[in-house]
């Protein structure tokens, strides 16, 4: 039963890659995995988890960028019971927020470009009100507030990983 959806995904993805559609990265921060890498399974030397890998590709094609970001954070199989395994009890949305703050502080120009890209998301995007609204809110925060939040997140990370804090 599962063979048909997987086969259909690879046929669709092959057509997308063959036509040159999405041969580049949609954007460089959150959608930084090319569709051709998904099709060829050449990311991180690991198997991609379905249906998340297919959802990533389909969401990008349909301009549902919040859904694509959500799928991207799930497709490596590191999410269990809503928590990201390597992220010390953070939810998927919490990890996206942590990454967003880091990107906003460290790469403000790329972050602004990403927000412009996400402005074109489809009205069918089921994660526009949580993921994309949060990214927009972080984009509007002041640099000083973001630096404080970034420092707090780093302290939290060090506490849970046992790394000594360097404050």
The per-residue pLDDT string of the chain (167 residues; one tens digit each, 9 = 90 and over) reads: 544 444 444 444 444 444 445 457 889 999 999 998 888 776 665 788 999 999 999 999 999 999 999 999 999 999 998 899 887 779 999 999 999 999 998 999 999 999 999 999 999 999 999 999 999 999 998 877 777 776 766 655 544 444 343 33
As a whole number of angstroms, the distance between CA 82 and CA 87 comes to 11
Nearest CA among 69, 77, 80 for reference residue 26: 69
- Determine contact, residues 73/84, Cβ cutoff 8 Å: yes
Provide the β-strand partners of residue 83: 80, 91
Q: What is the pTM of this model?
A: 0.75
As a whole number of angstroms, the distance between CA 15 and CA 9 comes to 10
């Amino acid at each position: 039963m599962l063979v048909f959806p997987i086969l259909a995904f690879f046929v669709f993805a092959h057509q997308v890659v063959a036509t040159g559609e999405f041969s580049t990265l949609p954007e460089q921060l959150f959608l930084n995995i090319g569709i051709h890498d998904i099709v060829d399974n050449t990311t991180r030397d690991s198997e991609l988890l379905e249906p998340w890998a297919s959802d990533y590709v389909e969401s990008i094609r349909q301009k549902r960028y919040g859904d694509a970001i959500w799928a991207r954070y799930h497709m490596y199989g590191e999410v269990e019971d809503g928590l990201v395994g390597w992220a010390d009890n953070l939810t998927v949305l919490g990890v996206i927020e942590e990454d967003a703050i880091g990107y906003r502080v460290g790469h403000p120009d790329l972050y602004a470009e990403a927000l412009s890209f996400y402005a074109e998301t489809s009205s069918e995007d089921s994660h526009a009100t949580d993921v994309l609204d949060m990214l927009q809110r972080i984009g509007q925060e002041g640099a000083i507030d973001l630096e404080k939040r970034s420092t707090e997140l780093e302290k939290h990370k060090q506490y849970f990983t046992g790394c000594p804090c360097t404050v």
